[in-house]
Structure 1
Amino acid sequence: MASAVVLAVKFVYTAVILFGALGLFGHFSPANILITSAVLAVLLYAIGDLWVLPNYGVWSATVVDVLLVGLIIWATELILIGLGVPILNLAAALGVIAAAEHLFHLYLSKADLQQ
């Protein structure tokens, strides 16, 4: 049950951030943003929260997640619409998601919900 809650929270804040960074300023469709958010939430949870966070700590998990976010946003938007993401939009999304992921990792490590 804790995994479902963590995934849901991660999906919601990722979607909100991407709607702000890509939807408002990048003219990406809501469907593409929701698909990208779902892919991000699942992969960041599986790699960052379940593997890196317990084994290497909060900062390492944040760095890995930021690298994954950049790669995943670029790849999914390239696959879905055939165009790359403008660098300013990608930088804005990465910056805000990095802060959100770091705070979320701190919460998970204190609450011990990452299992």
Structure 2
Amino acid sequence: MKHIKAIGIKFIVISIVLFSILASFYTATLTDILLLSVLITGVAYVVGDLYILPRFGNLVATTADFGLSFFAIWVLSNLLFLADYGVVTASFFSAVLISSSEALFHIYMQNKILNHQKDMYIDRKSTMGNLQTEFAEENPNKDIIELNKEDNKED
């Protein structure tokens, strides 16, 4: 359920950014923008948020999301609505806006989705069998502890 909410937030942000840039300057239809948003959201969530973010951190994941968004918007917009000019510029500005929002989204992901410490608990029954015993040398013939001769001289 947590992942569905995170994917929904990511999808809405990417859709708003793509709609504001591609629909304003190109003949991109709402269907084209939603298809682009679904593809970018799915790939970026799996690669950037679930794989790169926990292993390498926010900066590397944001940089990877920038590259992925730029490349995906550039290639898919050429395939979907065949823009003649400025696709690289629109892809760049879209990727900048998406990656700046992704930096904030990664903080949300680290605190709410990927934080496993709140769910962790210790089962005391399983740890009781793992106790260790301390071993020492004992002389069974003597019940009295003998002090060193140096300690007796101080008296």
**TM-score where L is the length of structure 2:** 0.68
Contact 1:11 1:37 in 2 (8 A): yes
Output one character per residue of 1:19-69: Cα deviation in whole Å (capped at 9) or x when no partner: 011111223111111000000110000000000000100000000011000
On the 8 A contact 1:26/1:89 being kept in 2, the answer is no
Query: How many residues are paired up?
Result: 114
Over the matched positions of the two proteins, sequence identity in percent amounts to 26
In 2, are the aligned partners of 1:14 and 1:97 still within 8 Å (CA)?
Answer: yes
Residues 28-107 of structure 1: pairs in structure 2 closer than 5 A:
28-83=28-83, 86-107=87-108
Partners of 2:82 and 2:24 in 1: CA distance: 19
Letter in 2 for 1:47: V
Structure 1 residue runs of 5 or longer lacking an equivalent are none
C-alpha distance in structure 2 between counterparts of 1:22 and 1:69, whole Å: 14
Instruction: Quote the residue 1:16 is aligned against.
Output: 16
Decide which moves more: 75-84 or 25-34.
75-84
Moved over 3 A (4+): 82-85
Question: In 2, distance between residues paired with 1:102 and 1:38?
Answer: 19
| Aligned residue in 2 for 1:25 | 25
The structure where helix makes up a greater share of residues is 1
Separation in 1 of the partners of 2:42 and 2:56?
A: 19
Aligned partner of residue 94 in structure 1, secondary structure: helix
Task: Output the CA distance in 2 between the equivalents of 1:100 and 1:48.
Answer: 13
Structure 2 residue runs without a partner (length 5+): 116-155
- TM-score scaled by length of structure 1: 0.90
CA distance in 1, matches of 2:25, 2:3: 32
